[in-house]
Structure 1
């Protein structure tokens, strides 16, 4: 059993007795567990209690199928999965979800949790296309100062994973003896790749977040997009959503993104 302390967490004793009380209401009194059913709060189907998922700490229960679909939608939007119960803000524990999710989704969930722990303004991603490791600015600086001199003054950083050097100011591989402006003006790195990316984005119908400039692709769902930086916008025109409402008149969805073949 995992123990957590702090605001919003129940004590170990409360957690233990609450769990025991819940199980006493749902566990069968005989060896034939298949006769005991429980209603899922999402699909309202009567489901075998052994196929029900219990959220840690809040104890809201749903069938495996509904939780899996709910978690996948949240992960595809770059959101750390939370309890599906309306108004509940309990985070889902990754250890509890391993039996529900594919290895791909577990990896996405791990990345989402890691990103959520680093404030957006502090995030740095390794520009090495084979790495793209997430770091905080503080973490990258501390690691770089152990590896190279004048890291703080020069802006040079080393990735904590692949150890490739890069510029923290313009987010490209390190350009020694050359300013960021001169480096970009030389067309050595970014211009041709940016043009190729813009061309590919137009071809594939991708959209760019106006706040952080990350490229986003809609795989499934409505046109209300939430970037990993937290910015919400319309996938069709790019206009901002405010207080969960659009500022444009574009359609909210297209059936081809809602209904999977």
Structure 2
């Protein structure tokens, strides 16, 4: 049996549920690995659904229903036992968390500020795209440094001098000295002392 699934005894063993106060076959029982307390499927499903609807999930994990127990009930442990509708509501509730000090929404699944109008999956794709762009930007900066490219003082676009004099006309129309970056006032005059 996998460690992350609720454990169960043999099917013939009866287990007492402390919520409904009835016995049920072991196959009908959830046993939480975090605390080892056992409850019948239908009682625990209703309990979790009520906690999700009461928004108890937004401030803390759903706790074991056993009085005084601090064991957390985690969705992964019960994914094959709870009704799909309860699991969906539970997952949605876990995604929306309010930070108590700032009253700002926080996505507990992505661990970032709430991404309004974007699902967690879409947000991850956006983050991956941003990370790729960030890596490409860093690569461009490295190439520019290695090749000693200069930035246009006006538009900040990288310019590579491949030959000729130091007078550069950028694609934005700005004229500058490739040596020091000073602006050219005419095609032949610059305030810098660089030799053309």
Which TM-score tier does this pair reach, normalised by the shorter chain? 0.3 to 0.5
If you compute each CA radius of gyration, which structure gives the higher value, 1 or 2? 2
- Which structure shows the higher helix fraction? 1
TM-score scaled to structure 1, two decimals? 0.36
| Greater RCO, CA 8 A, separation 6+ | 2
TM-score with structure 2 setting the length: 0.46
